Amino acid sequence: MLDMTVIAATGQALPTTPFEGRHLIGGAWVAGSVTVDRVSPAHGVVVSRSALGTAADAEAGVAAARAAFDSGVWSRATGKARAAVLLRVADLIEANVERIALLETLESGKPISQSRGEVSGAADLWRYAASLARNITGDSHNTLGPDMLGVILKEPIGVVSVITPWNFPFWILSQKLPFALAAGCTCVVKPSEMTPSSTVMMGELLIEAGLPAGVVNIVLGEGQPVGAVLASHPDVDMVTFTGSTAVGKAISVAASGSLKKVALELGGKNPQVIFPDADLESAADAVTFGIYFNAGECCNSGSRVLVHEDIAEAFVARVTALSRQVAFGDPLHPDTQVGAIISLVHQGKIDGYVKDAVAAGAKVALGGGPLMVPGLAGQFYQPTVVSGVTPDMAIARDEVFGPVLACLTFRTLDEAVALANDAAYGLSAGVWSENVHTCLEFARRVQAGTIWTNTWMDGFPEMTFGGFKQSGQGREIGRYGLEEFLEVKTVAMRIGRTRPNWVKTH
């Protein structure tokens, strides 16, 4: 018998008819001529049926967003009017948490408690963005001489394509959309083909909140052709994308044809560094949380732990013991902490990394294979701790995107910084020490967009987020997140009629 905590099927009745997902184009719901079914990764039953968009659907979405932008109905609306709509959306999200969270769990396999947290937390992002909508200011220059005045205006960048992944569909949409809308942009949204329904529900809420038709359009479907059209279309001014680094690079290439702005939130191979003087009990809990949250299918997954050699054995043993107590199983059970893996193909990829590491000399301290959950047909992976990992192994370098912790060791702070930075990625990093100098030195030297000291994955709408190196470009949320969607315009004004003529008239 496995010495792990497994929660069997709850037997809870699932919806009998799949949720129907349609495109939202120019304020109208449009059914697809072709549809695709989503099978719940935990339960193995069809939970949604969504339109599978064509290139023509994507072009219609762009045309609607372009027309709405150029009409000025939103782009020239007051900050007060924009904020009022965003605040109504926040209220509607809160009123619909249960409905949205259930479908999010059924499509993604994540625990229902986390879906509820993700959806209700998203309301706060909309509220924060509403506050920014009334605080869009540029600069003035009153030092250019008595006959000149300079003004730097901020304007909405225009039509924005919003392309999102499957791991936090509602949250990531809410990291982008309210900020783009606060800026005055219009949007075409493409959610992941695996988890489209909460985005469709967002469309319903936007209509109910009174957002004018065409300001947000939703086109469902796959990267090819829908995502590709949204990334390359000349009438799109900016693409904001969250997803894999490989697709992020493809989007950059596609966008370069018209030199549109591209903002990318990509993968990570995020280290947590543990010094011997840390609160090791708290660190072990945070490492356990960091690797299993969202089944490790998380850009911020703390998938590498770098432990000081003196404490490595005891620390890994403690994380292993805690891992046995994390509740894996039916995502519909309120106590479940880790649910299903998004697809069987992805589960195979996760398992491949573990097998390759073992073949290269690493040791599996816990797990290392699929997990059978009594009463459920879907795919689950065991909590997995791999020790004796060396920096050259793929499990130490690649984004595994599963509940698999790679454990490495170091001796000095210099070595810890070098190991942490020895990655193509630079999304987030953590440091554990009771010595503030150790924490700050690490924070200043590590190449990552977010550093946590003595904590992991705390986030706030005010605190901007984004990656160094191949983890992305641009920033989301916080004030910088708004700035991404603004264009800057200089207005140089001569005051009075004092401009000396250039032409010497005879």
Q: How many helices (H) and strands (E) does the chain have?
A: 15, 25
Nearest to 178 by CA among 120, 236, 121, 133: 133
Q: Give the nearer residue to ligand NAD in terms of CB position, either 329 or 481.
A: 481
Rg (CA), the chain: 25
Q: Give the nearer residue to ligand NAD in terms of CB position, either 441 or 480.
A: 480
Q: Which residues pair with 155 in a beta bridge?
A: 487
Q: Which residues of 270-310 form beta strands (DSSP E)? A: 271-274, 304-308
The DSSP H or E segment spanning 287 is helix 280-292
**Smallest gap from residue 398 Cβ to ligand NAD (A):** 10
Q: Give the nearer residue to ligand NAD in terms of CB position, either 126 or 166.
A: 166
Q: Give the nearer residue to ligand NAD in terms of CB position, either 273 or 427.
A: 427
Q: Give the nearer residue to ligand NAD in terms of CB position, either 40 or 195.
A: 195
Q: Which residues pair with 163 in a beta bridge?
A: 190, 241
Contact 116, 229 (CB under 8 A): no
CB-based contacts of 495-499 (< 8 A; 24+ apart in sequence): 495/146, 495/147, 495/148, 495/149, 496/147, 498/147, 499/147
Q: Give the nearer residue to ligand NAD in terms of CB position, either 372 or 394.
A: 394
Question: From CA 101, how far away is CA 332, in angstroms rounded?
Answer: 10
**Smallest gap from residue 374 Cβ to ligand NAD (A):** 29
299 in catalytic set: yes
**Smallest gap from residue 250 Cβ to ligand NAD (A):** 5
Give the Cβ contact number of residue 391 at 10 Å: 14
Q: Which residues pair with 490 in a beta bridge?
A: 152
Three-state DSSP at 35 gives strand
**Smallest gap from residue 91 Cβ to ligand NAD (A):** 26
Q: Give the nearer residue to ligand NAD in terms of CB position, either 74 or 292.
A: 292
**Smallest gap from residue 368 Cβ to ligand NAD (A):** 22
Q: Which residues of 26-98 form beta strands (DSSP E)? A: 28-30, 35-39, 46-51
Q: Pick the catalytic residue: 265, 297, 399, 476?
A: 265
**Smallest gap from residue 267 Cβ to ligand NAD (A):** 4
**Smallest gap from residue 503 Cβ to ligand NAD (A):** 53
133 by Cβ neighbours in 10 Å (0-12 / 13-18 / 19+) ranks as buried
Q: Give the nearer residue to ligand NAD in terms of CB position, either 230 or 393.
A: 230
Q: Pick the catalytic residue: 299, 399, 476, 484?
A: 299
The DSSP H or E segment spanning 25 is strand 23-25
- Residue 296 sits at the vertex; the CA angle it makes with 424 and 318, to the nearest 5 degrees, is 100
Contacts for 323 with CB less than 8 Å, ≥ 6 apart: 4, 288, 292, 366, 367, 383, 385, 405
Question: From CA 192, how far away is CA 57, in angstroms rounded?
Answer: 16
SS (H, E, C) 357-412: HHHCCCEEEECCCECCCCCCCCCCECCEEEECCCCCCHHHHCCCCCCEEEEEEECC
Tell me, rounded to whole angstroms, the distance of Cα 305 from its chain centroid.
Answer: 22
Contacts with ligand NAD, residue ranges (CB under 6 A): 163-168, 172, 190, 192-193, 222-224, 227-228, 231, 242-244, 247, 250-251, 265-268, 299, 399, 401, 427, 467, 472
Question: From CA 34, how far away is CA 4, in angstroms rounded?
Answer: 43
297 in catalytic set: no
Contact 245, 266 (CB under 8 A): yes
**Smallest gap from residue 500 Cβ to ligand NAD (A):** 53
Catalytic residue IDs: 265, 299
